[in-house]
Chain A
Amino acid sequence: MSEKKYSKKHEWVELEGDVATVGITAHAAKQLGDIVFTEVPDKGKKIEAGNEAAVVESVKAASDVYSPIGGEVVETNSSIVSDPSLVNKDPENAGWFFKIKVTNKSEIDTLMNKNDYEKYATENPN
């Protein structure tokens, strides 16, 4: 399993073979506050890197979750649909959103590592 990579739009990606798991960062989950609704993409959906893939809603706001990497959705997390608060409790593990069969693995190189992301998130709180 490769190390987690992070996008400027506050998603994380973890690549295993040619399948990447995508979720929102702990920083993003904290900023959103209490998450009360999530919508995950349909299995089989093809998504380009940087495009809208899922939705997360707090009491006050709806936010799009973008896929930092392109490919075809092969699995979605039904646990966060039945219990959206799981995203707050464990955003970077059990609170994952979807798994995507990656078209072009090199796209992951454009993303930040944990240290760079943490620096970025401090400077760009929203």
Chain B
Amino acid sequence: MGKKSLFMSQSAEKIQELKTALHSFHLSNGGKMVPFAGYEMPVQYLEGIMNEHKHVRLKAGIFDVSHMGQFSIKCDEKEYKKLEEIIPIDLSSLKMHQSKYSVLMNKNGGIDDDLIVTKVNDGLNIVLNAACKHNDVKRIHEVINQKNTKLHEDLSLIAFQGPKAASILETLVPGVKDLKFMNGNSYNYDNEKLFINRSGYTGEDGYEISLPNKLVEKFCKKLLEDKDVKLIGLGARDSLRLEAGLCLYGHDLDPKTTPIEGSLSWALSKKHKSERSFLGSEIVLKQIKDGTKKKRVGIKPEKIIAREGSKIFINNEEVGVITSGGFGPSVNGPIAMGYIKTEFAEVGKDVDLEVRGKKHRAKIHTLPFYKKSYVK
């Protein structure tokens, strides 16, 4: 047997992976560690991806996402304009404690990273992808004075997701049940400050909790005292987000793909979409007006599991490529996302996917594959 996996290191040269503050905790809980974005992270625990995935849909799960970048900017409204040149959201219209999904643009109209910005009392908090965070910080320092920013290596980040997450977290941190979706605020636990955001990457209600490294293991143990809580690995995180139709940066989005091609025009502010100039805006605004050659869509294969890189055909003409694909445990079937020539990007359209040299039937599908249950 020979494995071909996203999570297996193919390279012969051994790179020293970084460890999060929960590393030994993962090991003692049966975490199967794999290299991911420069970190050694748990792809699954003893129960496996399928059970972990379903557990999050039914109850509540903890994910260690401390590899992600937690970046803060101390600033006031005067600085917004400079940041909006590279991150096309309307920061002035963002309410206090409100979060927004956005992208870091490059000069070609492509996406250098996708991120979440939250407005806080003394400025902005930004969560960045692990593999991109150091480059992102460099890019942000080109527009914002470095001394007013910080990449918080002293903080861990855990996601706590699932229909039971709110009631369970409320018992530890009173008040979080009242947090609105895509809002974040500071709370206290054990005389330490926590920053909690009601958001996630699973299609379920839940939170992302930023807390000091020294507190994170204790906090996870406390959450795990509830029998409805389990540790969940990156494998299930990937299948959950794919069912929810959410992009994985580096796969579904990259520096050569624009937000319009990525079906993310909703993430750009009205102001940016109409008159406002920003990095790459001449390309992006032209695409809004004239359309794009390709577009990100959901794809539902009839039977076959089509992984990243599978080509999409219509009548033997190559029309696109799969960028994320796998098995959706809650959909109970194969699901995928990919880019297809815009003229074919209509829901219900029949396509063929090439897997191991053979073509297999699939249909363009709406996203998400699994109905979200966010608390508004």
Contacts and interface: CB of A to CB of B under 8 A. Distances in A.
Contact of B235 (A28, A55, A60): A60
Interface residues of B, number: 27
Contacts of B1: 9-11, 24, 28, 56, 63-66
Contacts of A66: 1-2
B21 interface: no
A77 interface: no
A59 B356 contact: no
Contact of B305 (A24, A62, A64, A65): A62
Contacts of B239: 59-60
Given A33-B44, A37-B305, A58-B49, A63 B329 contact: no
Interface of B: 1-8, 43-44, 48-51, 53, 235-236, 238-239, 304-305, 307, 326-327, 329, 334, 356
A62 B307 contact: yes
A53 B1 CA distance: 10
A126 interface: yes
A112 to B, nearest CB: 15
Contact of B2 (A9, A33, A57): A9
B356 A126 contact: no
Contacts of B53: 59
A34 B49 contact: yes
Interface residues of A, number: 23
21 contacts: A24-B1, A33-B44, A34-B50, A34-B329, A36-B50, A37-B305, A37-B327, A37-B334, A55-B356, A57-B305, A58-B49, A60-B239, A61-B3, A61-B6, A61-B7, A61-B8, A62-B3, A63-B1, A64-B1, A64-B4, A66-B2
B4 A62 contact: yes
Interface string A61-102: 111111000000000000000000000000000000000000
A60 B7 contact: yes
A63 B326 CA distance: 13
A60 B4 contact: no
B40 to A, nearest CB: 15
